[in-house]
């Protein structure tokens, strides 16, 4: 979790999304420093618009990820998306756009930390007949020499000096209570305001809403959280060869991306609004793209230059700006990122399943993370247990499992294969030329394997 700086600590009012974005952008990774903003709304030179049939150099992999992040920041500035009030049960994975301040003292009254007896003064104590339970009205005060049975979480009677745990007391034949251990003043009492006082800032802007954050918000009196809204995503599945059920037959294959992309995009913080099957219909693709008002459109397949690859012609027809047109990465080289409007983008994923995963992690993840104002994951490396062959010029992403001896590369890592990534914990970033056994490699965690908050599949 990234903690925003002093500005977040000082602000008590809600921020707009652009400001929330700024607060989680404090320590850019070295690969992101010094790169000019592309396109409209940036502070550097605009990125060139590459027609699909022109000869150009693909974007290096680190620069492609940085470009997607910068594009999202420009989109957030253009859209001026405002924070939203979200019920606690729907806020998991969102980013706080307002500080979380305590609405009450916690606890809001002196409470018993244990089942046992509330005591007044030195013992032995006469035990009252009634008991004190959690959730009941304020009990009658105690007088010196009195005790009363009390449950964990119950309100402490006035003039109580300590709570004696059940296992630390015994009663004699006259019903008087005796301690079997020394009792200290204030023992096992949670005093009012022990955790916080009303008005204390509990969490700053930019905090990710984890399950623990939701619990704290509820305890502090919140029913909703002010958060950065989820980026809205429409998924367009292209390809006439795709089946939605049954076994492959007669040159037709099962669609793996339709079932995989929506939950993966949700795990990246998106609100997936629609999944549409377009086939290889150029007119239908044009209608779907121009009709969408999503923050991000994700297409599958059709990003090359074949006879039914309609993504580039569609982008040219609508005057889109290509920010990334091919990436120096394997698998996934023909992925692309286009700006359709100042506040709308399209990520074109290759049709091969593992190549599409590469496109998700290269372009969609940094764009969606930035739009959602989520903190960037801390980069880390592990040694590779086995040598990995590399591409001569391009970065390679290879599924790995994490073991005590390091990252273990998995087989079945071809562009059309999902068997490797289905068993993986992460993808290893292998530099051009490959990596030897024992060499440190950067790792990209998969949302579910990382235990990250992004795993919101509903």
pLDDT by residue (tens digit) across 281-291?
999 999 999 99
What is the arithmetic mean of pLDDT over 13-29? 48
> Which one has a higher pLDDT value, 26 or 44?
26
**For residues 117 and 189, is the Cβ–Cβ distance under 8 A?**
no
Distance (Å, whole) CA 193 – CA 195 = 5
Residue 18: predicted pLDDT: 54
Domain 35-83+230-371 coded CATH 3.40.980.10: yes
Distance (Å, whole) CA 134 – CA 108 = 13
Distance (Å, whole) CA 302 – CA 283 = 14
Most confident of 19-28, 177-186, 439-448: 439-448
**For residues 299 and 311, is the Cβ–Cβ distance under 8 A?**
yes
DSSP 3-43: PP-HHHHH--S---HHHHHHHT-SS--GGGTTPPPPSTT-S
Fold of 381-445: Beta-clip (2.40.340)
**For residues 202 and 196, is the Cβ–Cβ distance under 8 A?**
yes
57: Cβ contacts below 8 Å, ≥ 6 apart:
none
Residue 57: predicted pLDDT: 80
- Residues paired with 397 in a beta bridge: 429
Which residue matches tokens 């009990």?
139
What is the arithmetic mean of pLDDT over 344-366? 96
Q: Domains of the chain: which residue ranges?
A: 35-83+230-371, 111-190, 381-445
130: Cβ contacts below 8 Å, ≥ 6 apart:
139, 148, 149
Residue 422: predicted pLDDT: 94
Distance (Å, whole) CA 35 – CA 339 = 18
How far is CA 403 from each of CA 385, 400, 407, 438, 449, rounded to the nearest angstrom? 9, 9, 6, 13, 13
Q: Which CATH number does 111-190 carry?
A: 2.170.190.11
pLDDT by residue (tens digit) across 231-261?
999 999 998 888 788 998 998 889 899 999 9
Under the banding of pLDDT at 50, 70 and 90, the label for residue 19 is low
The mean pLDDT value of the chain amounts to: 85
Tokens of residue 7, six digits: 């500005």
- Residues paired with 400 in a beta bridge: 409, 426
Distance (Å, whole) CA 74 – CA 344 = 10
Please give the model's pTM, rounded to 2 decimal places. 0.78
> Which one has a higher pLDDT value, 47 or 424?
424
Distance (Å, whole) CA 64 – CA 48 = 14
Task: Judge whether residue 17 has pLDDT over 80.
Answer: no
Distance (Å, whole) CA 202 – CA 181 = 37
Residue 451: predicted pLDDT: 53
Distance (Å, whole) CA 137 – CA 155 = 8
Residue 181: predicted pLDDT: 86
| CA neighbor of 449 nearest in space, from 380, 395, 400 | 400
Distance (Å, whole) CA 154 – CA 115 = 9
Residue 38: predicted pLDDT: 32
27: Cβ contacts below 8 Å, ≥ 6 apart:
none
Residue 21: predicted pLDDT: 54
Which residue matches tokens 């795993």?
455
> Which one has a higher pLDDT value, 236 or 456?
236
138 CB-contact burial (10 Å; exposed 0-12 / middle 13-18 / buried 19+): exposed
Which ranges in 107-244 belong to alpha helices (H)?
A: 211-219
Which ranges in 292-405 belong to alpha helices (H)?
A: 311-317, 353-359, 365-371
Please provide the size of the chain in residues. Answer: 458
What percent of the chain shows pLDDT beyond 90?
64
DSSP 126-141: EEEEEEE-TTSPPPPP
Tokens of residue 138, six digits: 């304020």
pLDDT by residue (tens digit) across 100-158?
999 999 898 889 999 998 999 998 998 988 888 888 888 889 889 999 999 999 999 99
């Amino acid at each position: 979790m990234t903690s925003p700086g002093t500005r977040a600590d000082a602000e008590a009012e809600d921020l707009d999304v652009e400001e929330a974005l700024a607060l989680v952008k404090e320590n850019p990774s070295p690969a992101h420093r010094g790169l000019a903003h592309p396109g409209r709304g940036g502070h550097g030179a605009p990125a060139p618009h590459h027609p699909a049939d022109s000869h150009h150099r693909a974007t290096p992999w680190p620069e492609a990820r940085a470009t997607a992040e910068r594009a999202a920041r420009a989109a957030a500035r253009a859209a001026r998306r405002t924070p939203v009030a979200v019920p606690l049960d729907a806020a998991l994975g969102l980013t706080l756009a307002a500080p979380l301040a305590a609405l009450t003292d916690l606890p809001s009254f002196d409470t018993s930390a244990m089942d046992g007896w509330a005591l007044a003064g030195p013992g032995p104590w006469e035990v009252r007949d009634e008991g004190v339970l959690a959730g009941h009205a304020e009990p009658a005060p105690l007088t010196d020499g009195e005790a009363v049975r009390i449950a964990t979480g119950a309100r402490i009677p006035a003039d109580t000096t300590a709570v004696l745990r059940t296992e630390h007391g015994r009663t004699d034949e006259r019903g008087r209570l005796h301690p079997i251990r020394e009792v200290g003043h204030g023992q096992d009492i949670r005093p009012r305001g022990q955790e916080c006082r009303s008005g204390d800032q509990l969490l700053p802007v930019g905090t990710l809403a984890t399950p623990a954050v939701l619990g704290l918000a509820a305890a502090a009196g919140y029913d909703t959280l002010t958060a950065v809204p989820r980026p809205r995503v429409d998924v367009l599945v292209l390809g006439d060869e795709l089946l939605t059920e049954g076994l492959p037959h007669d040159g037709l294959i099962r669609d793996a991306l339709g079932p995989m992309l929506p939950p993966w995009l949700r795990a990246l913080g998106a609100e997936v609004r629609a999944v549409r099957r377009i086939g290889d219909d150029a007119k239908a693709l044009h209608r779907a793209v121009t009709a969408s008002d999503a923050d991000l459109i994700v297409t599958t397949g059709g990003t090359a230059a074949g006879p039914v690859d309609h993504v580039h012609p569609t982008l040219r027809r609508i005057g889109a700006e290509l920010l990334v047109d091919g990436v120096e990465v394997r698998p996934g080289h023909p992925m692309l990122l286009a700006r359709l409007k100042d506040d709308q983008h399209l990520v074109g994923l290759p049709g091969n399943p593992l190549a599409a995963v590469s496109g998700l992690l290269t372009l969609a993840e940094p764009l969606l993370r930035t739009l959602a104002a989520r903190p960037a994951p801390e980069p880390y490396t592990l040694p590779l247990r086995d040598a990995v062959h590399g591409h001569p010029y391009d970065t390679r992403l290879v599924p790995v499992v994490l073991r005590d001896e390091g990252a273990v590369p998995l087989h079945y890592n071809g562009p059309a294969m999902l068997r490797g990534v289905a068993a993986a914990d992460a993808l290893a970033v292998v530099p051009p030329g490959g990596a030897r056994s024992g060499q440190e490699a950067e790792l990209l965690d998969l949302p579910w394997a990382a235990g990250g908050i992004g795993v919101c599949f509903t």
